[in-house]
Amino acid sequence: MAAERPAHLDPRFVIEDFEPAYMETWRRGLLEEKVKAALRELEECRVCPRNCRVNRLKDEQRVCHTGRYAIVSSAFPHFGEEDCLRGSRGSGTIFFGLCNLRCVFCQNWDISQKTAGTEMDAAGIAGLALELQARGCHNINFVTPEHVAPQVVEALAIAIPKGLRVPIVYNTSAYDSLASLRLMEGLVDIYMPDFKFWNRESARVLCKAKDYPVVARAAIQEMHRQVGDLRFGPDGLARRGLLVRHLVMPGQTDECEAIMEWLAEEISPDTYVNVMGQYRTQYQVGEIARDGKRRYASIDRRPTRQEIAAAYGAAHAAGLRRLDARS
């Protein structure tokens, strides 16, 4: 029996007959070429904007501390994601360990800044994806894949011929190289990037990547080129498109306004945005430095209700109306 269409669903953003993008890529015989291109990226690593140029095929490591194989920290049906991803049976999240950013406030610092998890080859990751699908998950959600995009391609090339048929979610910080994103074209259905900072200095201090704002803008433009605005199935679950997350941080109302304006003007006024109000002090924020002062004092508090309201107001003022809301 077909699921009843949610009353709020705009028919302009509904896909009646959905097939994952990777099915056409598979039928055209392009998976093998994508794997070859992925391995070339690892050979002189330019997987992310750090451009470390080490040979990860020989297990050489630098900024992300990840060599030939990805580290998987966990894999499970996640019920904490957006409603349109988690549905009733969860989003099939595969959390990769380590990261190419050094966010001082990271909410998952125990796995992103420390080695925690199991090194896993492509067959192992493919097996996790197929298991999550068998458990009824609505999608496969690769979390923090920026530094292991080639390994994701390898895993999908194994999982697809073995029966993977649910949408692929690429859940990223947006610190992605354009080369890696183009490698993912025809494999990813839903891109879900963060857009953290607008200002170069904020990025330099808080995520140790001064080029983050420029990189994120280029990455989000490429993601939107590939998949367009977010669209749903008749059941209200996301099928294909761009979903942008913005974490509201204390004292950064001006940056939030700039991000919302840019999304509306340069991406699309129909961009689907999740304004996230759950920031809390984590990791290095509030540590006592050698001079006795608290580190990163400007973000050593929760955002106020007024700041969260201002973020929603900035989105509306920019003309963005498709804002995520929890049931």
Q: Is the pLDDT of residue 25 over 70?
A: yes
Provide the pLDDT for residue 5. 56
Q: Report the pLDDT value the prediction gives residue 6, as an integer from 0 to 100.
A: 64
Q: What's the pLDDT score for residue 3?
A: 43
The residue with tokens 């994508």 is 34
Q: What percent of the chain has pLDDT over 90?
A: 94
Q: Is the pLDDT of residue 69 over 70?
A: yes
pTM assigned to the model: 0.96
Q: Quick one: pLDDT at residue 115?
A: 87
- The residues, any chain, with a CB within 8 Å of residue 35's CB and separated by 6 or more, are 153, 154, 157
Residue 2: predicted pLDDT: 39
Query: pLDDT, tens digit, for every residue of 116-153?
Result: 899 999 999 999 999 999 999 999 999 999 999 999 99
Read off the pLDDT of each residue in 68-75 and give the average, rounded to a whole number. 98
Residue 313 has pLDDT above 60, yes or no: yes
- Of 100, 82, 63, 275, residue with least CA distance to 177: 100
Q: What fold, for 11-281+293-318?
A: TIM Barrel (3.20.20)
Give the tens place of pLDDT for each residue, 226-243: 999 999 999 999 999 999
Strands 231-232 and 190-193: unpaired
The domain limits of the chain are: 11-281+293-318
- Residue 9 has a pLDDT of 83
Give me the pLDDT at residue 1, please: 32
Whole-angstrom CA distances from 94 to 91, 100, 252, 287 are 9, 17, 31, 31
